[in-house]
Structures are given as C-alpha cells and as structure tokens.
Structure 1
Amino acid sequence: MTSSAEQRTPQRTLIRNGWIVPMTGAAPRRADLLIEDDRITRIAAGIDDADAAVIPADDCIVLPGFIDTHRHLWQSTLRHLACDWTLPEYFTTLRNVFGPRFTPDDIYIGTLLGALEALDAGVTTVVDFSHNLSTPDDADAALAAHVEAGTRGLLAYGGSNDQARVRDDSRHTRDAERLHDRVPTGHRDRVSIAMALRGPEFSLLDATIDDWRLARELGMPITVHVGGGLRGAGGTIHVLDENSLLGEDVLFVHCNMLSDDELRRIAETGGRVSTSPEVEANMGHGPPVVRRLREHRIPAGISVDVCTNVGGDLFAPMRAALALQRGHDHAEALARGEALGTVTLGVRDVLEMTTVDAARACWQHDRIGTLAPGKLADIVLLRADRLNVLPGNDPVAATVSACDVSNVDTVLVGGRVVKRDGCLLGVDFDRLRELANASRDRLQGASAGNRAASTRVRV
C-alpha cells in the first residue's frame, strides 16, 4: 500500500528566465530554475512545467541566498547605539550597562527582529552567536525566535552576561544539550544548535579545555572569537594547538591579529573563519584579513557581527571587505615605492565569501551556497532593472558594488517564499514594532532622559 506521504504531489515553483549566478564556477546565464518542495531539481532554458507556480525573473539576478557566518542577533533592539564606540567601549557598555537588563522577552524580540532584518536583505542563513544566555529561559526565547522567523539558523549557544564580564574559569553550561532536544521536529532541517565558546582570550585555559570537551562530547560544532584587538595578538591559535583543540569543527571569528603561522595551522587542521570587515575596521579589531584567509585557502565567510554598530545587510560588508583590503594592499605597495598592477581582491571573491565559501565555513556546503540540482532552494532575486544596476553589464559586479536591500525582490528558504515583490510575507509588523519599542524603552530606561544618557555611555 502506498502511504499518503508517497501519494502527495510535490510543490513545484519555477523561477523563469532569470539571470542565474550559480556560484558553482559556471558563468552566469539566462535560464529557468525549477524547485520541487525544498530542493532545486533543474536549471535550464525553456523549462515547461504547467503545474509549477511561476516567479517571473526577466529583470532579476538570481543567486544563492546570502549566508552570514557571525551575528549577535540578540542585540538588534539596541541597533545604532555603538556606532561611535571603540572595541573596549563596546565590551564595557554592552555588558556592564545593557547586558544585565536583558530578560527572555528582550532576547526573543532582539533575535526575531534581527533574523527578519536578515531575511529582508536576502540573508537566508545566519550563524547566531548568542552570548547573553544567562538562564535556560533566555535560550528558549532565542530558539523560539529562530523557529518563528523562518531563517535557516545555526543558533550557537553562548555564555551568560556574567561570564562575558570577566575572564575566569567558569565552565560553559550543559544546557545546550537540552536546547538541541527542544528544536521542534518540523524545524530541525532549518534550525540547529552549536556552541559559542569564550575560548582562551575570554576564559582561563582549564575552562577552555573543558568547554571544548563538552562540545565534542555533545557532537556540536564550535564557534569562538579569536584575534580581535590587542588581546588577540597573544598566540591564541598556538595555545589551542598545544592542547589539541584545533579542528574542522571550529569556526574562528575575526582573526585580524593572528600571525600567518597561526592561519597556516587553522588551514592545516581544517578550521573555518568568519570575518566582519566593516565592524572590525570601525571598532579596532586589527588590519583586514580577507586576502590572507584566501591565500591560506581557509573556508571563510563575511559577516555583519553587531547591528549596534553597522547595518544588517551583507552588501555593505562586501564593499567594506573590498575597499579595506585593497586600500591596505595599495598602501603597503606605495610604502615600498611601488604601484600595484592589479587589485588583490575581486568582486567574485567577496561574493563567494557570502555564498559558497560561507556555506563551507558553517558546515553547510553540501546543502546550500550554490544553485545546483539537489541543493536546498535558498534563493534570492535581486532587481536588475533599478537605477543602481541598469543597464546590467555584469551581475556579479552589480551585486557586490551597487546593490542594496532595495534590490531584494524575492527570497526563498527551502523553497518557501518568505519575501515577494519587495515585501516580507506573514510578518505582523505592528506586533513586531510594539515589542521592539517596548524592549528598547525598558533596556534604555523608561524616561527619555535616561534613554539619552544610556546611549552615550563612555568608559
């Protein structure tokens, strides 16, 4: 007897006549793209499928959904407050002033707001380094937001606010195991749990070793901040290496101050990296690291990091990566009395770092990151008939050098349309606004005077 599941007709969607940028190494071309349920099944010109729902894409660039390999979604209701803060000011103010005020409700709405902002910008996957989880209720709130938002999320269970304020030997909570079991069955293909560990720059070595052991006992991937600012110049990777903690299950964040030898060891042990060039330049993490990551062939993604300091799309970080790395390399050449004959980083390089390379960095390369039959249908359509793209000479260059959120017309996650005609679908914006405003007011203080004071805290 045939089961009802086997009898069900697949849901079919046809993206028709788009400017397909597959990120597989193949050149962009005009073609149709057929989706059955959550998977891409065919890419070719002139696909004829009368049963498919059609998305016209004549005026669109069709790309894999963008992947953000490092973002602190819980901070989204405090957006813009850190625009003029250095890295030390950020650490002190976010943790000492705002961190203790967060309740599960604040974690929930911050995470939800940030995840929806990402989707609106064509970011279909986010590695959420959630490091203000002081209670299991906080963790449950973050998970609820990921489930509701519809993003493909790797929720990385971080430490408490108290742990973030001191470098001590306290251990990571084992509650990540419970949270993993609480991911609803119908969402486990989309939402998974990782461990966001403090590492040797933010905890004592014995704690770091025990935290790594816990993550590996639970079979959870690890993400950790290293090489950011002065504290990142102390040979962190060598310390991890000496204690057999390097490996392909680790996603290192920032890495600006790491030596070439440290990057070599990350590469040799299969590690991955996320770099946040816009935030790193603004806050003082160190010199740009993109070119060195690519020279060492480390799977690396570009990320937003904190929306308290920058915007929530990946278009700006891509452009920042280009400008900062090229500027750095030009300056080094000029200091030698030379002029570079060609750029050291190309537009395709940074687009790879938000798609195919980012997928490798967050252990998802067999599922997402390219447009190819068998891959999950995480897809973004960018309007190419807008003034910032017309007349459309090069879809890769246009995406990186010119596009912004206003170009994001349609977004699909696992074949499900979550944004269409420039509008997010199924989002109660009145409720979202009400919850975000209430959280902001409570976190910053009930009165306008308190709010103004808290936004300009100085160390």
Structure 2
Amino acid sequence: MKTLISGGTVVSMDPAVGDLGRGDVLIENGKIADVSERIDAPDAEVIDASDRIVMPGFVDNHRHSWQTAFRGAGADWTFPEWAQAMHGTVKPHYQPEDVYLGTLLGRLEALHSGVTTMLDWYHVAQSPEHEDAGIAALRDVPARSIFCLGAGWGSADSVDDAVRRVRADLAGERLVSLAWGLRGPEDTGMDALATELELADELGLRTSLHTGSDGTQRPIADLHAHGLLRDTTTFVHGNGISDEELRMLADAGSWLSISPDVELKMGFGNPLTGRARAAGLRPTLSVDDVPSAGGDMFSTMRTAFAVQRGLDGTLNSRDLLEFTTIDAAASCGLDAVTGSITPGKDADIILLRTDDITVFPVADPAGTVVSAGHPGLVDTVLVAGRVVKRDGALVGVDLPALKSRLTASRDRIAAAAGVQLGSTWCPRPRAK
C-alpha cells in the first residue's frame, strides 16, 4: 500500500533531508519511502498537502492521562494541593473503568493535537485490574504509546511481579510498549532503587523518575555516587538540581523531561531548559497533567520558549521543535523509528493548516508552529502510515458517547470523594 503526501511545506527535522518549501513524502507499508521536491507515484493514494506544514508528530514523554476527567480543576493549585487532591482525595475512588476512560480520552486528546507518540506515566496504582484498564485504553487508540508502569500499590515483590506480568502481556505489540516509572530513593531507599534498575536492565526496559531539589538535597549526585545513572533513564522536572548534577546527567547520557507550565504554576521553580543545554543535555518537553495545564505540545513549547528567552535570550524555534520530536523520541529509545521524516522510519506525520487565519500568512514554518501553533491547526495525523485524523476529525471515534461516559465517571468519583466540582474546589482552605 502506498500513500503520497503531496505539495506541502516539509519540516523534516532530519538535517540530511532538510526542509522543503514544496515537497512530497511517499509512504509504503507504513514506512517513509522517499522525501523529495516531487515524487512520481501514480499508484499511490494522494493526500493533498497544499497549504499545509508536513512535519513529524510530536512526542510527549511524560503525561498522567488517568487524571483527564478532572481537567482544569487544578488550575490554581500548588503542588501540595495537587498531590492531596489527585492522590489523596480522588484516586482511592478510581475503579478500573475510570482509569480506562481517563486514559482513553487523554490519549485521544493528545492524538487529536498531533502527539503521535506519548509516554503515559501511570501512577494510579490500585490493582492489576487498574493496570490492565490503562493498557486496554492505550491499545484502543491508534497511536504509538508507552505504558510507563508506576507501580507501588503493594510490596517490592508485587512491584516486580507487576512489571514482569505487564511486560509479558505487551510482548510483540507494535504500537504499545512498556517503560518503568521508578519510585525515588526518598520513597524506597537507594538499595531498593538499585534492585529495580537491575531488573529494568535485565528486562530491557527504559525508566522514568521524578526528581528535584530545594537546594539542600543532591539527588543526582547521590545516584551518581551509587553508580545508578543510566542512558536509559529520563528524569522528570529536576527543578533545583545544580549545574554540576546536570553535567552528571549529560555525562551518563540520561534524559531530562521538562513540564514548563506545571513547574511554573505549581511552584517548582524555573524550567531547566537553558541550564540543561548549557550542561550538554538535550532537554525534552512534556505536558504532565491536564487538571493543571493544557494538553497540547504547542502551548508547552510556547511557555518553555518564552520563559527561557526572558531569562537569558537563548533558544530558537527550531530548538523547541527538536525537543518535542527527535530528542523526545530518542529519550524513549524510539529515534530509529519516529521523530523525523526520514526514509526508513515509520510514517508518524502530522499536517498543520497554514491557511487558518490565526497563522496566515506563514513566513517561517518552524517559527509559526512554535509561536502561534494550536491544536486547531492539526488537520491530518498519520501513525505508522495509517490516517487516524482527517480533515480535522479523528477517524472512527464516537466522541459524543465517550464524552458522556467520562463525564459520568468524573461525577461518580467526585461524589464518592465528597468533592464539589466547580471553581471553588480546593483540597484545603486557602490562606487569607
């Protein structure tokens, strides 16, 4: 089967391919076969990309989609308030069906906004049935997803068992894979973390770990001293860690996922984008959670860009596109598969409208995507060559029915938790 994306402005994110003011992309059997100014393929299905930017789909390497039902509820929360609300108040009332619906609608939202690859950081651990529900939701979305199992609902033995069980369940899957969301040494101790990393190495799993410092702790230095830094680990946030520790991450080949909207709003501190680059790291960007922030990578890029330019004038729009495509794909171990429009890679491609009045006329494609892009521009999405969004609408998805089910799920959880939904909902009274 052949598909020809014809006549678009190609932003390939591959230096060897470059950008094309007018270009074609040929797809065969789900993979990119050729990228050129003009391709003759009379037997291919043609997707007209006139007035479109053609670029690789976004990669979000850190999102907790189980929280989707409570979108916007945490816009005013600090981190302690978010933790109490989501983990202390509502999470105990989540049933497997609630995990399924939140994850399903959250992944569909991401796909709708051009995120073709997403790491779903699962930490609503209650039972194996909850895990299975999260995996089932990712399987039901025609997108490339990584189920990052943040186990911890039982003993260390049950965590190991959960990881082995889920890994066996996902063996052989093409679009849904497994990563391990580790608990930090402050929760489990350094020896337990070392054991978990050994098991991750044995099973061939990449890992993700939330970290940060108030300036008195040195979490990365402690891990370095114990030989626990890996090029297969992505550290999330990291606010407050020192420049020396950032260099340790760079030397180890580790990755850093920055969630600028959440970090700024919840009081984590300035995102580490510029400091990470100065230390030799290639930072990546992520949404984190939609109770507190928007669920698209356009707003995430714009926040990271504006903050860093305000701090020191560094970064350009191409940097931000790299952070959210090829660099993020590499952090997930998928840069040989996705993240750029490169012959031989899977065709994970998005088409963005350039005739929309909010961006017209486009003078610089990369600059326009970063400075003015939004989900409404995402006209067409392909994952592994399959069209999953066409003419601005997801293909084969009954959104009205799913919306109704998610609303009922949210209302049931809120009632069980004693939460009054609305602008006044806050997990504890605010200080006068």
Distance 1:247 1:29 in 2: 40
1:40–1:376 Cα contact (<8 Å) kept: yes
Task: Indicate the residue corresponding to 1:172 in structure 2.
Answer: 159
Task: Indicate the residue corresponding to 1:131 in structure 2.
Answer: 123
Task: Indicate the residue corresponding to 2:195 in structure 1.
Answer: 210
Distance 1:66 1:380 in 2: 8
Please state how far the C-alpha of 1:328 moved relative to its aligned partner: 2.3
Distance 1:221 1:439 in 2: 32
Task: Indicate the residue corresponding to 2:413 in structure 1.
Answer: 443
Distance 1:293 1:170 in 2: 36
1:171–1:210 Cα contact (<8 Å) kept: no
Distance 2:376 2:256 in 1: 29
Call closer, same or farther: CA 1:171–1:446 in 2, change over 3 Å: closer
Which segments of 5 or more consecutive residues in structure 2 lack a partner in the other structure?
A: none
User: Once structures 1 and 2 are overlaid, which stretch shifts more, 188-197 or 23-32?
Assistant: 23-32
Please state how far the C-alpha of 1:225 moved relative to its aligned partner: 0.2
SS of match in other structure, 2:5: strand
Distance 1:33 1:121 in 2: 21
Distance 1:233 1:390 in 2: 49
2:61–2:118 Cα contact (<8 Å) kept: yes
Asked if residue 15 in structure 1 is aligned to residue 5 in structure 2, the reply is yes
Distance 1:197 1:246 in 2: 13
Asked if residue 83 in structure 1 is aligned to residue 83 in structure 2, the reply is no
1:20–1:30 Cα contact (<8 Å) kept: yes
SS of match in other structure, 2:343: coil
1:100–1:161 Cα contact (<8 Å) kept: no
Name the TM-score, length of structure 2 as normaliser. 0.94
| Amino acid in structure 2 at the alignment position of 1:458 | R
Asked if residue 298 in structure 1 is aligned to residue 281 in structure 2, the reply is yes
1:171–1:207 Cα contact (<8 Å) kept: no
SS of match in other structure, 2:188: coil
Call closer, same or farther: CA 1:143–1:422 in 2, change over 3 Å: same
Q: How does 1:266-305 map onto structure 2 within 5 Å?
A: 266-305=249-288
Asked if residue 73 in structure 1 is aligned to residue 65 in structure 2, the reply is yes
2:93 to 101, 109, 126: 101
Q: How does 1:20-419 map onto structure 2 within 5 Å?
A: 20-25=10-15, 26-160=18-152, 172-183=159-170, 185=172, 188-227=173-212, 230=214, 234-329=217-312, 343-419=313-389
Which segments of 5 or more consecutive residues in structure 1 lack a partner in the other structure?
A: 1-10, 164-168, 330-342
Call closer, same or farther: CA 1:398–1:258 in 2, change over 3 Å: same
Call closer, same or farther: CA 1:196–1:383 in 2, change over 3 Å: same
Distance 1:313 1:387 in 2: 20
Distance 1:446 1:236 in 2: 38
SS of match in other structure, 1:247: coil
2:104–2:138 Cα contact (<8 Å) kept: yes
Distance 2:230 2:237 in 1: 17
SS of match in other structure, 1:153: strand
Name the TM-score, length of structure 1 as normaliser. 0.89
2:282–2:327 Cα contact (<8 Å) kept: yes
SS of match in other structure, 2:284: strand
2:9–2:19 Cα contact (<8 Å) kept: no
Please state how far the C-alpha of 1:445 moved relative to its aligned partner: 0.8
Please state how far the C-alpha of 1:389 moved relative to its aligned partner: 1.5
| Amino acid in structure 1 at the alignment position of 2:403 | R
Please state how far the C-alpha of 1:95 moved relative to its aligned partner: 1.2
1:66–1:124 Cα contact (<8 Å) kept: yes
Distance 2:19 2:380 in 1: 22
SS of match in other structure, 2:191: helix
**Alignment length, in residue pairs?**
427
| Amino acid in structure 1 at the alignment position of 2:286 | S
